[in-house]
Amino acid sequence: MRRIERAVPKTVQRAADPTEIRPKLRFLLSDEAREEGKMMVRNFRGYTLSRATDDTRSQFSAIARHIREGDYPNIAAADALMGGVLIESVEKIAGGFRQPEWMLWRSSWANALADGWPNRMEGAAIFMMTRDERFRPAIVDDETQMLPKTTIDAVHAGGGKISGKDKGWSPSRDEAIFRHYRDYIEYLLDAAGDDDTVRLVENAAVTERYSVYLALKSGKNGGAATIVARKGITPAARAGTTIQIDPTVSKTSLAAALSTEKMMRLARLLLTPGQVDPGVVLEFSEGLGNLPKIPYAEDSESAARSGQWTKPPSLDADLWKRIPHARRRDYIKAMAMGIRRGIHPDETVAELLAAA
């Protein structure tokens, strides 16, 4: 599976050293420039896919205008050096182009500036204007057409009200159906970062005790989510349509499977209120079959690190490796009881292994 490029890393540990930045951009490392970046981050976090289109257009048109008028002098200078790509990316959002919320909240050129990495601003701006068709089909634009154009339209759609000073609105049932499903796919990609080997459940002990379900619920609060339930116990009926997934399936492979055009169409049918077609459920389940799994090997070091229970310092390492992974908790309890009676952990484990 191909990796997802990130214009801005998910977590920035430190600001760049001046020697790491091109000389003409080093002025953006100043406190004043980074403060402008933080202000722009706050502006971008007002963006949501559920807002009325005219509100988003007004907000981002104002941002572009303020940059041009010199309210953000460092950003304006950076935009000039980068060929106008910063303002262009803002105006594209104002013009109706839609991206996932996480991109503007955490991976925009404003984040790059605020975090002290101006070298990444141009790439992030281009990324803001680019649709990644590998994992994110053009469903965002399709769904935008279903959203209300104005706040009044949203009220007429049945999802909100205007009373007194409250000018906000909440999306109607039909408008909210698909949004959580799409957000869940974006969450998987964001959580996996650039690592195709990240599992749905990153704990070997948990994968042995639990099953993971993808729950699809229709209605205003519907969407997609993973439900962790004990093995052999079906999730509650309120979970809606549920499809069991192996906990060791990689996050990126699940996201890639969920985001295909076929799965998007089937998910829409499952999430639409009303009677669920069993054939659609079966076809959707088959679409999640044979996904790449990354199982934990019993004797691997990664399994030992990922497990909930770690080796007691006084226990022999070879004896620890011989303990069945699923029973480590029981063995540790037995060792603790033995220590209280003056018995060394090595003797306790050797006795239990011999009796097993």
- The predicted structure's pLDDT at residue 163: 33
What is the extent of the structural domain holding 318?
Answer: 309-355
Q: Which residues are CB-neighbours of 42 under 8 A, at least 6 positions away?
A: none
Cα–Cα dist 214/168, whole Å: 32
- The predicted structure's pLDDT at residue 109: 93
Q: Per the domain annotation, does 299 fall within a domain?
A: no
Same domain? For 23 and 117 the reply is yes
Q: Per the domain annotation, does 68 fall within a domain?
A: yes
Q: Which of residues 70, 99, 132 is at a domain's end? A: 132
Triad 74, 111, 89: Cα angle to 5°? 70
Same domain? For 26 and 128 the reply is yes
Same domain? For 195 and 252 the reply is yes
Triad 198, 204, 206: Cα angle to 5°? 105
Same domain? For 203 and 279 the reply is yes
Same domain? For 29 and 120 the reply is yes
Same domain? For 281 and 344 the reply is no
Average pLDDT estimate for 38-64:
82
Same domain? For 272 and 319 the reply is no
> Does residue 300 have a pLDDT over 60?
no
Q: Which of 32-41, 160-169, 191-200 has the lowest mean pLDDT?
A: 160-169
Q: Per the domain annotation, does 190 fall within a domain?
A: yes
In sequence order, what DSSP letters do the residues of 181-250 get, joined into one string? HHHHHHHHHHHHTT-TT-BSS--HHHHHHEEEEEEEE-STT-EEEEEEEETT-PPPGGG-EEEEE-TTBB
- The predicted structure's pLDDT at residue 132: 52
Q: Per the domain annotation, does 95 fall within a domain?
A: yes
Reported for 170-174, long-range contacts at CB under 8 A and 24+ positions apart, including other chains, are 171/50, 171/147, 171/220, 172/220, 173/219, 173/220, 173/273, 174/146
**How many domains is the chain partitioned into structurally?**
3
Cα–Cα dist 98/108, whole Å: 13
Same domain? For 74 and 125 the reply is yes
Q: Which of 125-134, 144-153, 210-219, 224-233 has the lowest mean pLDDT?
A: 144-153
Q: Per the domain annotation, does 184 fall within a domain?
A: yes
Same domain? For 70 and 114 the reply is yes
In sequence order, what DSSP letters do the residues of 131-168 get, joined into one string? --TTTS-THHHHHHTTS-SSHHHHHHTTS---BTTB--
- The predicted structure's pLDDT at residue 258: 87
Considering only CA atoms, which of 60, 112, 107 is closest in space to residue 87? 60
Report the sign of the C-alpha dihedral through residues 43, 19, 3, 126, in that order. Answer: positive
Same domain? For 227 and 268 the reply is yes
Same domain? For 128 and 27 the reply is yes
Q: Is 112 helix (H, G, I), strand (E, B) or coil?
A: helix
pLDDT, tens digit (0-9, with 9 covering 90-100), for 86-116:
999 998 888 877 777 777 888 889 999 998 8
Cα 286–chain centre separation: 24
Q: Per the domain annotation, does 171 fall within a domain?
A: no
Q: Per the domain annotation, does 47 fall within a domain?
A: yes
Cα–Cα dist 24/3, whole Å: 31
- The predicted structure's pLDDT at residue 284: 92
Q: Per the domain annotation, does 192 fall within a domain?
A: yes
- The predicted structure's pLDDT at residue 95: 81
Average pLDDT, the chain: 73
Q: Which helix (H) or strand (E) holds 125?
A: helix 121-128
Same domain? For 273 and 318 the reply is no
Residue 297 CB burial class (10 angstroms; 0-12, 13-18, ≥19): exposed
pTM value is 0.41
Q: Which of residues 132, 165, 189 is at a domain's end? A: 132
Comparing 223 with 44, the larger pLDDT belongs to 44
